[in-house]
Chain A
Amino acid sequence: MRPFLYSRADGLDHAVQLAREGARPIAGGTNLLDLMKLQIEAPERLVDINRLPLGGIEPDGEGVRIGALVSNSACAADERIRRDYPVLSRAILAGATFQLRNKATTAGNLCQRTRCYYFYNIDTPCNKRRPGSGCSAIGGFNRIHAILGTSDACIATYPGDMAVALAALNAQVEITTAQGRKRHVPVRGFHRLPGDTPEKDNVLEPGDMITAVALPPPAGGRQIYRKVRERSSYAFALVSIAAVVRMEGGKIAAASLAFGGLAHKPWHDPRIDELLAGAMPSDALADKAADLLLEGAQGYGDNDFKIPLARRALKAVLREATGDAA
């Protein structure tokens, strides 16, 4: 690990001031410290924000506001989240381990970086780690890589589960800017596609800090998080789907689906939700939804299997969400 200056923020203003001066916020540290050990990240200054009062889950109108420092464990176990937003509990519990979730925070989880093998191997070119050096995954081993929204510069995926559920729930990220102002960004627009600047994972600007995630009023319906992975626990998603589907009289009244493991961001295609709303569930309908999802899909060799896998997973989730058995 490269040397760094460590300071502890004693309030949000202090943290924002240090962040404005270039300090990197650290909370759980489970991803950042891992990357610092490998010298993929080498911040010169860390600001420990663990003592800030951002660790609560509070009612927010008819919704819920989850503080940036709420641990993944606490969020998944919270009674309101379990009852009113079960897809979020399920998604969080699908990721990592109890040890990691006890430390990992809501904001940190959103900001976790890709697990692309080449991003992690400092001996190989990677545009995300060293802009302009090239992408080793294109033409290399790319089993875990993206099939949607890729660019010639990067085919890495966003690896998380929590954000996929937050995208399905249409949650908002509350950001405190370097100037101390608040702004809100929908989770669906928080992460970005790689384009020519894959080093930027999300829309945070220098000095920005996430202070909370706001959930809208409970959507009800059936909520499912389906994760397909290489082993049954403690593995990143090859394909994952968060689904919130409300039925009325045998028809789909409303649906909101988001997908993990397919792109540089949790993937949400509003056309799928629109197609499903008001429709009678059927195999043909699910195929149409998959057609929309996979319209621009491109495999890179080892990850070609994700295209049929995503279709099958989507059809299985819709069957479960709209059928009587689930």
Chain B
Amino acid sequence: MSTHASEATQPVRKKSKTGLIIVLVLAVIALNVVAGKYLGLNHGIEINIFPRPVEGFGGGVLTETNISMFVASALIVVSALIIRIFFIPKFKAVPGKVQNVLELIVGTLENYASSISGVKDAIVPAYGLTVGAVIVFSGFAELLGFRAPTTDFLMNAALALIALIVINIVGIRKFGFPGRVKSFFKPVPMVGPILIVTHLLIPVSLTFRLFGNILGGMIVLELLYAVTPLVVPGILNSFFVLFHAGMQTFVFITLMFTYVNEAAEEPHD
């Protein structure tokens, strides 16, 4: 009887979940269409590689990506506070819905980090989740009509430089500082300069990959906003924000884990 009941309830639940997802996607698209019409700060044929300074707010020091990064940070802080205040104190041994989702995200990321990087250092998945949150929430700021913070070169450079620091923290924790320095000169001392330059090129590569991808998406969207009525770029903007940025987050995190693996593996003698 009980199995029958569960079989009977399963399709209904699944259907309602699909309906919820469709409603969410439609809401995102509608929000984006409205925001593109009324809040859009920079939709026009003019495309800037470097963000323009905003007049009257901080005396022209702040650029439009600074403003949208403030919005994205506010979104991140508010959602983190909501999770911390309302959900984490209610955690039980038998998880509820929200706890399940949170544990799924954290557990998946931890497994992924340790399977690729081969170290069980808490800082690695923590920074991966941070990068993911920053990129995804700057996508949400873009949905509100701002220019995405990740289209700023310096923003990506900051993310990649912190990734370099995390990589070296893991290496130093594993081998100690002298061992980490020695690992650059390991097979023969002659390769030292080459390895050091390769190591210093890690943040350059990460920066350009993220910057080029997101900026390319932005330029495509700007051109679309210039030539079509509002609905088409609204839909495509949602696609770029939800799928393309998520894909880039995944690539960024995977590459960072791979570099951590390189930094943490035993040097060859």
Q: Is B one of A's binding partners?
A: no
